Amino acid sequence: AQSVSQHNHHVILSEAASLELGCNYSYGGTVNLFWYVQYPGQHLQLLLKYFSGDPLVKGIKGFEAEFIKSKFSFNLRKPSVQWSDTAEYFCAVRGYNQGGKLIFGQGTELSVKP
């Protein structure tokens, strides 16, 4: 069965600090990988996705993620966070030929201090 693990439950950073959120998945086949963000009181928005090709993908708002197949990881990074990045971040995996189902990680709450 597919599963997704996010290592950090709650991360607290000061503005301008660098961010890296861990995500590991368990699935034996080809996967598509996603990071979603949920700002307080808002719906999930797609930050970035990886389907194939360059394992380093860039998303919106300066975020990027790197797919390392050998480590089953898809960590999210941002060189310099802003207060407005305060939100919940979810990593998700979709197995190929799994009917489009997304399996989400537990989520990481990011709090950025001004």
Contacting residue, 18, 39, 96, 111, with other proteins by CB under 8 A:
96
Contacting residue, 90, 93, 110, 112, with other proteins by CB under 8 A:
90
We find the least distance from the C-beta atom of residue 10 to other proteins, in angstroms, to be: 9
Pair 65, 77: CB distance under 8 Å: yes
Instruction: Please classify residue 63 by burial: count the beta carbons closer than 10 Å to its beta carbon, then call 0-12 exposed, 13-18 middle and 19+ buried.
Output: buried
Nearest to 57 by CA among 77, 36, 37, 39: 77
We find the least distance from the C-beta atom of residue 50 to other proteins, in angstroms, to be: 11
Q: Point out which residues bind other proteins (CB under 8 A).
A: 34, 36, 42-46, 49, 51, 90, 94, 96-97, 99-107, 109
